[in-house]
């Protein structure tokens, strides 16, 4: 009887310890989200994306919008491979993913591919407004001036909302929901760049990231790739 009384507390302690480990896991890791955009021109085909050796995205073509994927936060090993393969990566390196959302963009020409992280802010815009952010991921476009004007209005006599070098991201700007033209010109001029005068309808509560990319094989005509951040 005395032995039984000694054994029961130890067994109870072990059960409780197991429950704690199952509840909290090891290391207290948390999840985060990232999305991937292949914006490196000259790619031979689609690509697969691995995180810590596990394929999470397959057959991602050039200039296609990416949706968010959930992974563990912290320093993650990212590999970009030709679709269907797991050797000879186009890119391999570590990227730090914080607790918020991150956009990962393949940049430079494909023979010198790099991977750039951009921290997203998906905090909802103020009532009736839209948040816009711009990323210059076009290796041959150079520096651009960005105008966001109400549809039907030109840019003559106006100053750009921002100037964006390559490779770089703007902060977020707020505009009232409505119909707009997003016009991009060679920095310091009002010479509109081929392919970079696009009309949009933005609804209240939306957040959008507009990414400048080269044509698939590089150079003009350029494109504005729109990423749906929120709503």
Rounded CA gap, 182 and 94, in Å?
34
Q: C-alpha distances in angstroms, 122 versus 74, 101, 143?
A: 19, 8, 26
CB atoms within 10 A of CB 181: 17
Residues paired with 174 in a beta bridge: 131
Q: What is the pLDDT of residues 178-216, one digit of tens each?
A: 999 999 999 999 999 999 999 999 999 999 999 999 999
Residues 79-108, mean pLDDT to the nearest whole number = 95
- Determine phi and psi for 31, rounding to 5 degrees: -95, 160
Rounded CA gap, 167 and 59, in Å?
25
CB atoms within 10 A of CB 145: 23
Q: What is the pLDDT of residues 165-179, one digit of tens each?
A: 999 999 999 999 999
pLDDT value for 107: 95
Residues 102-119, mean pLDDT to the nearest whole number = 95
Residues in the chain: 231
pLDDT value for 65: 84
pLDDT value for 81: 96
Kindly state the percentage of the chain with pLDDT values over 90: 83
Kindly state the percentage of the chain with pLDDT values over 70: 87
Ordered structural domains, the chain, with CATH: 31-119 (2.60.40), 129-230 (2.60.40)
pLDDT value for 29: 65
Q: What is the pLDDT of residues 16-30, one digit of tens each?
A: 444 433 333 344 468
For residue 5, the SS3 value is helix
pLDDT value for 67: 87
pLDDT value for 212: 98
Rounded CA gap, 184 and 160, in Å?
9
| Residue 107: closest CA among 99, 118, 94 | 118
pTM to 2 decimals? 0.86
Does residue 164 carry a pLDDT above 70?
Answer: yes
Does residue 152 carry a pLDDT above 60?
Answer: yes
Element (H, E) at 122: none
């Amino acid at each position: 009887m005395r032995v039984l009384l000694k054994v029961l507390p130890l067994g109870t302690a072990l059960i409780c310890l197991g429950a704690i480990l199952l509840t909290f896991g090891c290391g207290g890791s948390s999840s985060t989200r990232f999305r991937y955009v292949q914006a490196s021109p000259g790619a031979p085909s689609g690509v697969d994306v691995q995180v810590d050796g596990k394929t999470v995205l397959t057959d991602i073509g050039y200039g296609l919008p990416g949706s968010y994927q959930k992974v563990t936060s912290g320093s993650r090993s990212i590999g970009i491979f030709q679709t269907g393969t797991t050797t000879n990566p186009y890119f391999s390196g570590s990227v730090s993913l914080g607790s918020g959302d991150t956009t990962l963009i393949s940049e430079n020409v494909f023979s010198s591919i790099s991977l750039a992280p951009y921290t997203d802010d998906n905090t909802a815009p103020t009532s009736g407004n839209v948040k816009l952010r711009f990323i210059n991921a076009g290796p041959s476009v150079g520096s651009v001036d960005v105008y966001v004007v109400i549809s039907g209005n030109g840019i003559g006599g106006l100053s750009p909302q921002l100037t964006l070098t390559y490779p770089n991201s703007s902060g977020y700007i707020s505009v009232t929901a409505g119909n707009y033209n997003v016009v991009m010109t060679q920095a310091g001029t009002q010479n509109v760049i081929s392919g970079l005068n696009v009309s949009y309808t933005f609804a209240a509560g939306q957040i959008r990231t507009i990414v400048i990319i080269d044509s698939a094989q590089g150079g003009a005509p350029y494109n504005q790739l729109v990423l749906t951040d929120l709503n």
